[in-house]
Structure 1
Amino acid sequence: MSGMLIRNLGCIVTGNLDNPVRNVESVYVEDGLLAEVGSTTTTADTVIDANGLALTPGFVDGHTHPLLGGFTPRQNALGWCESYLHGGVTSMVSAGECHVPGRPTDPEGLKALAVLTGRSYDAHRPGGVKVNAGTLLLDDDMTEADIEDASQAGIERMKILFALNDVDRARDLVQWGRERDITSMMHCGGSSLPGTDNITAAMFEHIRPDIAAHFNGGPTPLPDEGIDRLIEGTDMVLELIVGGNQSVAVDVLERMSERDELSRMQIGTDTPTGTGVISCGMLLEMSILAGMTDVPAEKIVALATGQVADHHDLGTGVVAEGLPADLCLLDAPMGSQADDAMGALDHGEYAAVDKVFVDGELLVDGSRNAPPAKRPAIVE
């Protein structure tokens, strides 16, 4: 792959929560990787004048429900992954392929489903998006042998989607997964489907998964007392989503910032679901959280990029040398009073997605979903 120089940057919003902004004017990409950040290179096969725009990591949607390819039967929609790419999303994490018609409920069927979807998305990137799928949905009848099977098959994530009847078995399944480096997620809050039960704070305290999925509700959050218990009495990752209760999301983010525990946070969409397909869902959630709290936009971006990647060990989500060049060029949208992308987010607006790269390849040159940039970057 040829080299690419992106110059005349306004800044880099790194995706690193501890060092969220770097005043760097150029980056050099080679063979799909960030070869130089703060580059001294002056020529390349492709040169992009960023025109003062901010360079960020591509967004990493921490909570999606893919099926196969870019189709979702829940909304009978095609091409949704590519549509999310135009919202700045370069990677996704599956919180379970639960919308498969006739989804199996036995251990063998659930393992087979996870293996099938994982290997399918390993071989195919719909619209160019990296879909990290093949999440094992846990069942009361599963044993340690099933978790070992999943591990041997390369499964890296598992989820308690519905309340299991045996909370001791659920706790054991999570621990058996942890011993095999399998990240565990658990549905948090009220039931999202008929015929299923709520998952309570007490269940979380007993089972201790790694991630409390859609902590602000998917769509219904825990009661306030349960939210308090998980914030104050656990160290698990708390995920905020666009398809949940935004009053709770704002409150949780402010509290975690005051506790200096933003490292426990991440952002996702929890789509496609009954909430719908939300192509700019990550931008929407970032604009809500930045616009309605005192947490600066550059740290909100980290919650939507490097934090998700770190919690799932994805090897992307940060603008750093040696990592994949999964990148966005963002600006304030036309008509905004803000001067730049972070100012727009802090004002509660979408940032304009001007360009999106995956592995250094320019896949979006002017988003069809996000508003246009005030000052588009130029491919020279």
Structure 2
Amino acid sequence: MGDPARTDGGVTFLLTNIGELTTNVAVDGDPCGTVRDAAVLVSDGRVVWAGSAHAVPPRPDALVIDAGGRAVVPGFVDSHTHLVFGGDRAEEFAARMAGERYAAGGIRTTVAATRAASDDDLRARLAALVVECRAQGTTTLEIKTGYGLDVATEKRLARLAAEVTDDVTFLGAHVVAPEYADRADDYVSLVTGDMLAAVAPHARWIDVFCEDGAFTARQSRRVLDAGRAAGLGIRVHGNQLGFGDGVRLAIELGAAAVDHCTYLSDDDVAALAASDTVATLLPGVEFSTRQPYPDARRLLDAGVIVALASDCNPGSSFTSSMPLMIALAVREMGMTPAEAVWAATAGGARALRRADVGVVEPGARADLVLLDAPTRVHLAYRLGVPLVHRVWKDGREQGSRNPFRDSRR
């Protein structure tokens, strides 16, 4: 028999007896818009009402779901992933853990495996990773290309990514393709010409890895200018491996986000604070590469908009866990639990320039995560414990529920 409290996108339901609701609708100096003893009313996949459980508007047709005093947060918004790829790089990871230095060139290993993989193989891997993300509370995903580095493969990566998300990013300028070794400018011409023309119909964004070992500021500008002319929004990988021009280029061109931001000068921080470009921090990379963590406290204190994302990829951060990103940000980067949860939800939405996700307010998508915990603090406090109890995306319940919940209560 099916669970009578299970919901799909067409069901009107009232999630009530919420111990702590994070709305991200700022109030009285609280950017998380925290409501205690709360309820959320959902209809047709959207939030209709959210607030005190004592003030719920009458809705006799609503299915009532008792949250049991648990906390609810908006679905996590993972604004930086690379989920379409072939093979893995476990041996590279083991070598790093044995002391080898991380460098950008390992991407080419994944390029070879991805080119050799069939569409069915890539689609199956992608589908499994999306299920994994959903089970951990991620309801919105950005997915990049970048493991094809030729016209045909980049196009199919974008097409496959577009099957599962509207936020597809063209990253043909990930590294220089092996066929163009020592001819980086020629490769940029390919990226900004035939490759862009093939991929743009499937993408919303364009990105470039502006870094030593990848693309110079001049080359990066060519890529971003071409993408913008084709109608794509701008994103930048920058300042991951050392100080460089990525952050300033992103701000100058009005990028929605610049991602990594590990090495920042005072001028970089000031420029970010004066802009609406989001600094997306990716602590899974530092965990997996033993690089220094970015200083989130420095950015937040300066007034920079900060997002957290997983950078899920087979080389430098093979994790899809946004709760892990929250815990690492709190433990290693100077963020409070509230700041980290905001960055993993509303911050990610800002990085994607979306107002319909990352919040719990009337009109927003009903993307909700019910935690098996009384407060969002447990996402950092109980590191590594599967606290995601139930997940709704667009009002539709995702997957199976947390099998560990009863043993902990």
In which range does the TM-score fall when normalised by the shorter chain? 0.7 to 0.9
Q: Look up the equivalent residue of 1:325 and give its one-letter code.
A: A
Q: Look up the equivalent residue of 1:157 and give its one-letter code.
A: W
Residue 245 of structure 1 aligns to a residue whose secondary structure is: helix
Render the CA deviation track for 1:201-238: whole Å, top value 9, x for unaligned: 1354356562332223xxxxx4xxx4544223444432
| Bigger helix fraction | 2
What residue number does 2:168 align with? Answer: 133
1:121 to 1:172, Cα distance in 2 relative to 1, 3 A:
closer
Residue 239 of structure 1 aligns to a residue whose secondary structure is: strand
Contact kept, 8 Å, 1:327 with 1:357, in 2: the verdict is yes
Contact kept, 8 Å, 1:6 with 1:28, in 2: the verdict is yes
CA distance in 2 between counterparts of 1:185 and 1:202 reads: 11
CA distance in 2 between counterparts of 1:36 and 1:167 reads: 47
Answer yes or no: is 1:93 the counterpart of 2:142.
yes
Contact kept, 8 Å, 2:155 with 2:199, in 1: the verdict is no
Q: Shift of residue 165 of structure 1? A: 5.5
Contact kept, 8 Å, 2:83 with 2:129, in 1: the verdict is no
Q: Shift of residue 64 of structure 1? A: 0.9
Q: Shift of residue 142 of structure 1? A: 5.1
Q: Look up the equivalent residue of 1:255 and give its one-letter code.
A: R
Contact kept, 8 Å, 2:14 with 2:39, in 1: the verdict is yes
CA RMSD after TM alignment = 3.5
Q: Look up the equivalent residue of 1:93 and give its one-letter code.
A: E
Q: Shift of residue 3 of structure 1? A: 0.8
Q: TM-score, normalised by structure 2?
A: 0.69
Name which of 301, 308, 311 aligns with 1:258.
Answer: 301
Name which of 205, 215, 231 aligns with 2:261.
Answer: 215
Contact kept, 8 Å, 1:31 with 1:360, in 2: the verdict is yes
Name which of 240, 257, 266 aligns with 1:189.
Answer: 240
Render the CA deviation track for 1:159-185: whole Å, top value 9, x for unaligned: 113656563342243245456451222
Q: Look up the equivalent residue of 2:14 and give its one-letter code.
A: L
CA distance in 1 between counterparts of 2:292 and 2:58 reads: 43
Contact kept, 8 Å, 1:330 with 1:354, in 2: the verdict is yes
Q: Shift of residue 327 of structure 1? A: 1.0
What residue number does 1:104 align with? Answer: 149
Render the CA deviation track for 1:14-50: whole Å, top value 9, x for unaligned: 2456631332621111111112223323544532101
Name which of 378, 381, 385 aligns with 1:347.
Answer: 381
Render the CA deviation track for 1:69-92: whole Å, top value 9, x for unaligned: xx7533699412211211111121
What residue number does 2:73 align with? Answer: 56
> How many residues matched?
331
1:162 to 1:251, Cα distance in 2 relative to 1, 3 A:
closer
Deviating more after overlay: 42-51 vs 31-40: 42-51
Contact kept, 8 Å, 2:247 with 2:261, in 1: the verdict is no
Name which of 160, 176, 184 aligns with 1:120.
Answer: 160
1:19 to 1:205, Cα distance in 2 relative to 1, 3 A:
closer
The gaps in structure 1 that reach 5 residues or longer are 191-198, 217-221, 333-339
What residue number does 2:398 align with? Answer: 363
CA distance in 2 between counterparts of 1:150 and 1:310 reads: 28
Contact kept, 8 Å, 1:33 with 1:321, in 2: the verdict is yes
Contact kept, 8 Å, 1:241 with 1:267, in 2: the verdict is yes
Name which of 50, 56, 61 aligns with 1:37.
Answer: 50
Contact kept, 8 Å, 2:279 with 2:307, in 1: the verdict is yes
Answer yes or no: is 1:310 the counterpart of 2:350.
yes
Q: Shift of residue 322 of structure 1? A: 0.9
1:141 to 1:81, Cα distance in 2 relative to 1, 3 A:
same
1:309 to 1:165, Cα distance in 2 relative to 1, 3 A:
closer
What residue number does 1:243 align with? Answer: 284
Residue 339 of structure 2 aligns to a residue whose secondary structure is: helix
CA distance in 1 between counterparts of 2:130 and 2:74 reads: 17
Name which of 189, 201, 223 aligns with 1:153.
Answer: 201
Render the CA deviation track for 1:233-270: whole Å, top value 9, x for unaligned: 44443221132236987661111222232x2x111111
What residue number does 1:283 align with? Answer: 323
What residue number does 1:2 align with? Answer: 11
1:231 to 1:136, Cα distance in 2 relative to 1, 3 A:
same
What residue number does 2:7 align with? Answer: none
Contact kept, 8 Å, 1:147 with 1:176, in 2: the verdict is no
Q: Look up the equivalent residue of 1:22 and give its one-letter code.
A: T
Q: Look up the equivalent residue of 2:311 and give its one-letter code.
A: D
Q: TM-score, normalised by structure 1?
A: 0.73
Residue 64 of structure 2 aligns to a residue whose secondary structure is: strand
Q: Look up the equivalent residue of 2:383 and give its one-letter code.
A: E
CA distance in 2 between counterparts of 1:166 and 1:131 reads: 29
CA distance in 2 between counterparts of 1:306 and 1:64 reads: 17
Q: Look up the equivalent residue of 1:158 and give its one-letter code.
A: I
Task: Choose 1 or 2 for highest CA Rg.
Answer: 2
1:186 to 1:278, Cα distance in 2 relative to 1, 3 A:
closer
Contact kept, 8 Å, 1:290 with 1:297, in 2: the verdict is yes
Q: Look up the equivalent residue of 1:260 and give its one-letter code.
A: G
